[in-house]
C-alpha cells in the first residue's frame, strides 16, 4: 500500500513537471517608438512569470523568469532597435524548467508588463513597455487620460511664446492608423494597411510642412502601435487644430472601392460599413496590444465621458464641415465610395478641442485599388487632396491667432504655368473674386504680375 502510494506520487510529479514545462518562447520582438520601447515575447501558451530589476550595478537590468518555459529562439540573432535596450540575453535560470531573460537597459525606465491572449494569427504574448517617464505610462495617469478635453502641454513641447501666438501656423496632427502587431486590413496580394497609410501620412506631412501657414506632426512615425486614446492625447499635447486619421478600407467582398471620410457620431453607426469600422477600431486595440482594452472592456466609456462636454457638439460640426472640404478635394483625384461625410463612434475622433476626421483613402480589399494605393504617384495625389481640403477649410475658418487669420489679404506673384483657376483653388477663393479685387477684365495673367488675393 505504501509502495503504491509512493509510485503514484512519483508519477504525478513527473506528469506535473512535463505539463508546466510545455510553454515556449518562440520569438522575441522589439518595437521602439519615440516615447517607449516595447519588447514582445511570443509564447505557445499563457505565460507564468515573475520579474525584478537590478539598478544597483550597471548596466541597469530587467530580469524576467518564465516558469515552465523553454527558449525556442536565438537571442543573438535579435536585431536590437531603439535607444533603450542594449542587450537581451539569458542567464542561469532558477530551476531547470524555467528560462531567465535579462534585458540590459540604458537607464531606468518605467516598465509596464502585461499578458495578451491570442488574437487572430498572433499567439499568447508577454509585453513589456519601457517608458521614459513615469507619467507616460498608462495607468499612472488615469486622471490625464480621462480629462482629454483639457489640452495638456507635453514636457518636451515648449509653450508658445507671445510672438509665435500672434502669427502661429495652423497645426495638423496626422495619425497613420494601426501599426506594430496590428496590420490593419490586408489586401488580396498581401499589402498591409498600416504600411500604406504611413506612406500617405508622411507624404501629407511633407506637403503641409511646405506650406508657410501650416505645420504637420505625425502621431506614429514608425511601425509600432499607439492606443487610440494616446493618439488623441498626443494631438492635444501638440495643440493641434485638426486631427486627420488616415486609414484604408476593407470589405468582405472585393467589389467595393473608393474613398470616404468619417466624422464622430454620438450613437453607434447605422450603416454596415460604419459598424464594421467601429468593430475594427476595437479589434485594433486588441491586436495592437493595449493593456486596458483587454483588462477592462468598457465599451463606450470614452464616449460617455466625452459627451458630458457640450463643446463636443461644436467639434463635431467643425469636423463635418472640414470633412466636406476634404471629400470635395479627394473627388478630383480618386473615386469616392461615399460623397458625404459618414458617421461612426470612434475613439480616435473624440477630442472636444480638435476638428477631427478619419479618411479612408480607398479599399485595400479591392485588387485594383490595392495596386493603386501602392503606387507612389497615387499616394502623393491623395495626400495633396487631403491637404487641399484641409487648407480650404482653414481659409474659410481660420483659427484665432494664426497667420491665415491675420493675413486677411495676401499678394501673390504670378509664376509660370499658373492660371486664375489654379490660384482660386489654391487660396480657397473664386476666379470672380480675384478678378474683382484686381479689376481684371480678362483671364490672362503674365509672369511676375502681382495679384491681391482676397480672403
Q: For binding to Zn ion (CB under 5 A), which residues are involved?
A: 177, 184, 247
Query: What is the three-state SS of 58-113?
Result: CCEEEEEEECCEEECCCHHHCCCCCCCEEEEEEECCCCCCCEEEEEEECCCCEEEE
Nearest approach in angstroms of CB 250 to Zn ion is 8
Give the distance from CA 201 to its chain's centroid.
10
d(CA 304, CA 268): 12
Nearest approach in angstroms of CB 162 to Zn ion is 40
Nearest approach in angstroms of CB 252 to Zn ion is 15
Cβ nearer to Zn ion, comparing 47 with 179: 179
Cβ nearer to Zn ion, comparing 247 with 257: 247
Nearest approach in angstroms of CB 178 to Zn ion is 6
If you ran DSSP here, which 8-state letter would residue 222 be given? Answer: S
As beta bridge partners, residue 39 has 30, 128
If you ran DSSP here, which 8-state letter would residue 158 be given? Answer: P
Cβ nearer to Zn ion, comparing 341 with 398: 341
What are 193's three cell numbers? 494597411
Long-range contacts of residues 20-24, Cβ cutoff 8 Å, at least 24 apart: 20/48, 20/67, 20/68, 20/97, 21/68, 21/69, 21/70, 21/97, 22/68, 23/47, 23/48, 23/66, 23/68, 23/69, 23/70, 24/69, 24/70, 24/71, 24/72
Cβ nearer to Zn ion, comparing 230 with 247: 247
d(CA 412, CA 438): 11
Longest dimension (CA), the chain: 115
Residue nearest to Zn ion (CB): 247
Cβ nearer to Zn ion, comparing 60 with 360: 360
Cβ nearer to Zn ion, comparing 257 with 391: 257
Nearest approach in angstroms of CB 184 to Zn ion is 4
Cβ nearer to Zn ion, comparing 277 with 423: 277
**Contact by Cβ (8 Å): 362, 385:** no
DSSP for 333-347? Answer: TS-BS-SS-EEE--G
Between the two ends of the chain, the Cα-to-Cα distance in Å is 99
d(CA 57, CA 59): 6
Cβ nearer to Zn ion, comparing 73 with 273: 273
Nearest approach in angstroms of CB 158 to Zn ion is 33
Cβ nearer to Zn ion, comparing 216 with 246: 246
Nearest approach in angstroms of CB 260 to Zn ion is 12
Nearest approach in angstroms of CB 164 to Zn ion is 34
d(CA 125, CA 117): 6
Nearest approach in angstroms of CB 337 to Zn ion is 14
**Contact by Cβ (8 Å): 352, 149:** yes
Amino acid at each position: 500500500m505504501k509502495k503504491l502510494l509512493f509510485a503514484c506520487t512519483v508519477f504525478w510529479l513527473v506528469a506535473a513537471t512535463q505539463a508546466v514545462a510545455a510553454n515556449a518562447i518562440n520569438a522575441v520582438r522589439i518595437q521602439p517608438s519615440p516615447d517607449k520601447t516595447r519588447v514582445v515575447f511570443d509564447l505557445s501558451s499563457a505565460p507564468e512569470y515573475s520579474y525584478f530589476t537590478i539598478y544597483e550595478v550597471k548596466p541597469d537590468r530587467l530580469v524576467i523568469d518564465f516558469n515552465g518555459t523553454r527558449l525556442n529562439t536565438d537571442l543573438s540573432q535579435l536585431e536590437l532597435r531603439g535607444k533603450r535596450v542594449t542587450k537581451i540575453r539569458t542567464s542561469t535560470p532558477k530551476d531547470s524548467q524555467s528560462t531567465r531573460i535579462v534585458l540590459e537597459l540604458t537607464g531606468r525606465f518605467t516598465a509596464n508588463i502585461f499578458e495578451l491572449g491570442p488574437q487572430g494569427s498572433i499567439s499568447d504574448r508577454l509585453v513589456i513597455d519601457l517608458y521614459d517617464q513615469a507619467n507616460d505610462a498608462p495607468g499612472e495617469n488615469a486622471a490625464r487620460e480621462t480629462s482629454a478635453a483639457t489640452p495638456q502641454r507635453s514636457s518636451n513641447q515648449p509653450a508658445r511664446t507671445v510672438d509665435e501666438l500672434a502669427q502661429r501656423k495652423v497645426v495638423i496632427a496626422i495619425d497613420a492608423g494601426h501599426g506594430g502587431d496590428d496590420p490593419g486590413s490586408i489586401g488580396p496580394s498581401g499589402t498591409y494597411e498600416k504600411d500604406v497609410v504611413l506612406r500617405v501620412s508622411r507624404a501629407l506631412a511633407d506637403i503641409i510642412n511646405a506650406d508657410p501657414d501650416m505645420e504637420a506632426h505625425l502621431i506614429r512615425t514608425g511601425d509600432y502601435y499607439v492606443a487610440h486614446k494616446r493618439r488623441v492625447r498626443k494631438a492635444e499635447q501638440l495643440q493641434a487644430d485638426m486631427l486627420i486619421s488616415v486609414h484604408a478600407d476593407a470589405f468582405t467582398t472585393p467589389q467595393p472601392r473608393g474613398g470616404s471620410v468619417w466624422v464622430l457620431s454620438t450613437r453607434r453607426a447605422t450603416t454596415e460599413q460604419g459598424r464594421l469600422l467601429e468593430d475594427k477600431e476595437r479589434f485594433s486595440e486588441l491586436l495592437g496590444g493595449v493593456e486596458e482594452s483587454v483588462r477592462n472592456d468598457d465599451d463606450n466609456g470614452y464616449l460617455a465621458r466625452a459627451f458630458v462636454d457640450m463643446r463636443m457638439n461644436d467639434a463635431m460640426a467643425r469636423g463635418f464641415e472640414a470633412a466636406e472640404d476634404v471629400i470635395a478635394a479627394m473627388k478630383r483625384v480618386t473615386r469616392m465610395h461615399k460623397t458625404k461625410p459618414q458617421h461612426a463612434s470612434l475613439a480616435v475622433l473624440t477630442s472636444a478641442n480638435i476638428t477631427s476626421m478619419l479618411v479612408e483613402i480607398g479599399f485595400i480589399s479591392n485588387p485594383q485599388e490595392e495596386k493603386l494605393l501602392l503606387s507612389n504617384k497615387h499616394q502623393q495625389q491623395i495626400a495633396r487632396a487631403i491637404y487641399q481640403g484641409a487648407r480650404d477649410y482653414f481659409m474659410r475658418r481660420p483659427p484665432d491667432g494664426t497667420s491665415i487669420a491675420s493675413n486677411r489679404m495676401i499678394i501673390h506673384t504670378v509664376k509660370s504655368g499658373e492660371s486664375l483657376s489654379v490660384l482660386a483653388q489654391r487660396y480657397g477663393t473664386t476666379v470672380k473674386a480675384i478678378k474683382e479685387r484686381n479689376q481684371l477684365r480678362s483671364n490672362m495673367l503674365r509672369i511676375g504680375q502681382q495679384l491681391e488675393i482676397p480672403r
